[in-house]
Structure formats: structure tokens, C-alpha cells
Amino acid sequence: MGTRSGKDYLDGLTGDREVWLGGERIKDVANDPRTAGAATMLARLYDLQFDHPEKLLRLDPVSGEQVPVTHLIPRSAADLATRHDALACIAGNWS
């Protein structure tokens, strides 16, 4: 799957799905008070990619799509360093 925005992620939580919590079905994961916080935080991660594309995004060598660095399989020491830099960027921008 290619890169998506936080809005794309939240929109993807709607539709025909079953999510249960405490024996109760959650109809709207993005807006239910019990899950909205987690959904919003994950959406922020998706948006962060576009704030720092030079560190967080790369072209997938197989699909040719732009994907998060963290989704690529490291195949060299340089790939591991790139992933490290991406994770450090995420950690440094998380507040």
C-alpha cells in the first residue's frame, strides 16, 4: 500500500467492519470516545510523513510506490541507518 494521509487513514476506518470492545460493537472507530484518541494519534503519524518526506518516505523498489521507510525491508547497513533516522525523526517530532 502506498503512502496515505491521516485523513485517508481515518476515512479507512469507516465502512463495513466489526470492531468489538468490552462486548459492545463500535460502529465508528474514528469517533467513538473509547477509540478516537488512538485513531487520532495514528492519523498524526501518517501526516508526519508528509511533514518530513526526506526522512520518512521512499520509493518501494518492487511496486514503485512511495511508502513509509518503516514499511521497507532493510537489506543493508545503509537501509538500517535510514530506518533508524526515520524512527528518530518520528520520536523527535512526537508531542
Tens-place pLDDT, residues 57-90: 999 888 899 999 988 899 999 999 999 999 999 9
Provide the residue range defining the domain that includes 53. 6-92
Q: What angle do CA 20, 25, 31 make, to 5 degrees?
A: 95
In a domain, 60, yes or no: yes
Tens-place pLDDT, residues 14-60: 877 899 999 999 999 999 999 999 999 999 999 999 999 999 999 98
Global pTM value: 0.80
Q: Rounded to an integer, what distance in angstroms lies between the CA atom of residue 38 and that of residue 42?
A: 6
In a domain, 46, yes or no: yes
Encoded amino acid at 54, one letter: E
Residue 33's domain is classified under what CATH number?
Answer: 1.10.3140.10
